[in-house]
């Protein structure tokens, strides 16, 4: 999902066990010629190391990725709600 504000575009990505897919997705997103693009990634305590991958990607794209870690799997809908809220607050 994408929230388009007046000054920033935030792509909201809920994750659970996406360690293999996430690097590909994130790099493809940042290959686009979009100014003021950032990612809000909400991870529900993935056991496959997704959070570790997100932290490495944050180093590769400094200031462009915000990670929200949740302590357990809480579902897709609540992840999107949280991501939208965060994008609007930082917008």
- Identify the CATH number of the domain in which residue 40 sits: 3.90.550.10
Higher pLDDT, 91 or 27: 27
Distance separating alpha carbons of residues 62 and 39, to the nearest angstrom: 11
User: How many structural domains is the chain composed of?
Assistant: 1
Half-sphere exposure of 24 (CA within 13 A, CB side): 4
- Which range of residues forms the domain containing residue 7? 2-90
Overall size of the chain counted in residues? 91
The per-residue pLDDT for range 29-58, each reduced to its tens digit, is 999 878 889 999 999 999 999 999 999 999
Question: Any idea which residue has 């909400």 for tokens?
Answer: 42
- What are the DSSP E strand ranges found in the chain? 2-4, 9-15, 37-43, 65-69
């Amino acid at each position: 999902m994408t929230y388009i504000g007046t000054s920033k575009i935030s792509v909201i990505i809920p994750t659970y066990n996406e360690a293999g897919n996430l690097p590909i997705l994130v790099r493809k997103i940042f290959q686009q010629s979009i100014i003021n693009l950032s990612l809000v990634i909400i991870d529900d305590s993935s056991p496959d190391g997704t959070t570790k991958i997100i932290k490495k990607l944050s180093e590769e794209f400094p200031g462009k990725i915000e990670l929200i870690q949740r302590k357990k799997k809480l579902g897709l809908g609540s992840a999107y709600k949280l991501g939208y809220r965060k994008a609007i607050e930082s917008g």
